Amino acid sequence: MVKLGVKAGDKVGTLAWNDHRHLEAYFAIPSIGAVLHTINIRLSEEHLTYIINNAEDKVLLVDEGMIPIIEKIKDNIPTVEHFIILTDEETLPETSLKPVQLYEAFIKGANETFQFLQDIPETNPAGMCYTSATTGNPKGVLYTHRSIVLHSMMLCFADTIAISERDVAMPVVPMFHVNAWGIPFATVSLGTKLVLPGPNFNGEVLAELIEKEKVTMTAGVPTIWIELAKVLETGKYDTSSLTRVVCGGSAAPEGLIRKYEKEFNIPFLHAYGMTETSPVVTVARLKSHQEELPYDEQLKYKGKQGLPTILIEAKVVGENGEEVKHDGEEMGELLLRGPWITDEYYREPEKTKEAVQDGWLRTGDIVTVDEEGFIKIVDRTNDLIKSGGEWISSVDLENALMAHEAVFEATVIAVPHERWQERPVAFIVLKDGKDVTEEELRQYLLEEKKFAKWWLPDKFIFLDEIPKTSVGKFLKRELREQYRDVLLKEQNV
């Protein structure tokens, strides 16, 4: 990189999956004072072009499979001076990218005694990532050397993720998504064995890797664990090495947690964070006295996002800025501050002003806090459903629906309603070979899950697949656009 002209402060973009070459880039780039810019390969061409230009990436490291994507935008990213293809191949594939080199040839002539910079100020940027844009363009977040080191140390605490040298860690969360939640940095710092599943994984591939490599901890979003659960139900794989599955990105249904812990005997650990928070800020580790509770009581805590980690301050405020009661009922917006919480968006002063106020990051997540201090996400501010002046949590409805034995996936959105302002509509994907009617689901929510009648979705729409974001979350925006004109019948609420 230095021979190529990369200097301290330059941005080097990566469009890569979870493999050893990407891991090498994780350390090589920051160690010469440059900035590792992990790029979400699932973004649209428009957003890819925007963030490469906004970051002013000087070099792009590109997985071979990503070449066609970058070829489409190559003429619109003028700051990029060089492309490096991440592959073991010795022959350059046909490509219009110029100038371009193969990765292995690129590093072959490197100086094996190269001295990395020893005096990089700890507050200098080491990495950057862009948010998944729900409206407008993605927003850039810089991570400093200091914030990455402190976040890595936090992940090793027994009451957080408890990463240790003895672990065999398999991050399924992509390395282009908030530094794979910091797992590569923390594991390498300890000498932990890493299992990197590459681009072409599915539930069976993950199960095979867990059995073959004796994986002890793995991390990903709920949709990954829903898919893996289908495979583990076959009983074909030995997963006894697993000491915890870490779940983040969105809330996991209690039914999924129960399945892993009771059917598969795999501990399930909820965590929460955002691109702006590096990301981990809460973990749902039970307190010592809670381990004596009946399992159903424990499950209520395991299903929440958990307690703030060491060094993180959190508060929850209502519409007028007052802190809400810690009663598990009163809702408010979660505000955060700490050494790995961003205090600005890259080159976005106006968006920074909206999001960071008096040193606190406004997360946009609506939460409750119970008497034990456990935080539970009720919804995003733009996903809450306001019906007849009262709030309905789409997350609570989704979790309840996914606990039904016939339901594989479920998501709930708000649809405009002329009388009630908004009403919930549920989208359902059924498990293979299972069947359930709309009325049966309505009765299930009413009778077994004890929801108030006015919380029940007005419609249940059955799909073959729910659209998802680039990091595996349900894409509610697309559903809203597609179904906004759905006619809803009025109910006696």
* Helix/strand/coil for 127: strand
Question: Element (H or E) spanning 356, and its range?
Answer: strand 356-357
What is the DSSP code (8-state) at residue 404? Answer: S
**Catalytic residue check, 131:** yes
| Set 391, 448, 481, 490: catalytic member | 391
CA 386 to chain centre: 26
Annotated catalytic residue 391: yes
Tokens of 430: 């059924």
Strand-pair category, 268-273 with 244-247? parallel
Q: Which of 227, 276, 398, 409 is catalytic?
A: 276
CA distance 93 to 96: 10
**Of these residues, 7, 230, 353, 386, which one is catalytic?**
386
Known active-site residue 300: no
- Rounded-to-integer distance, Cα 221 and Cα 178, Å: 13
| d(C-alpha 215, C-alpha 204), whole Å | 14
Q: Is 211 a catalytic residue?
A: no
**Separation of alpha carbons 52 and 396, rounded Å:** 37
Amino acid at 453: K
Residue pair 207/239 in contact by the 8 Å Cβ criterion: yes
**Residue 319 burial class via C-beta count within 10 angstroms: exposed 0-12, middle 13-18, buried 19 and up:** exposed
> Contact, 384 vs 408, CB < 8 A?
no
Catalytic-role residue among 14, 38, 87, 131: 131
- Quickly list DSSP for 26-44: HHHHHHTT-EEEE--TTS-
> Which helix H or strand E contains 130, and what residues bound it?
strand 125-130
Active site residues: 131, 276, 386, 391
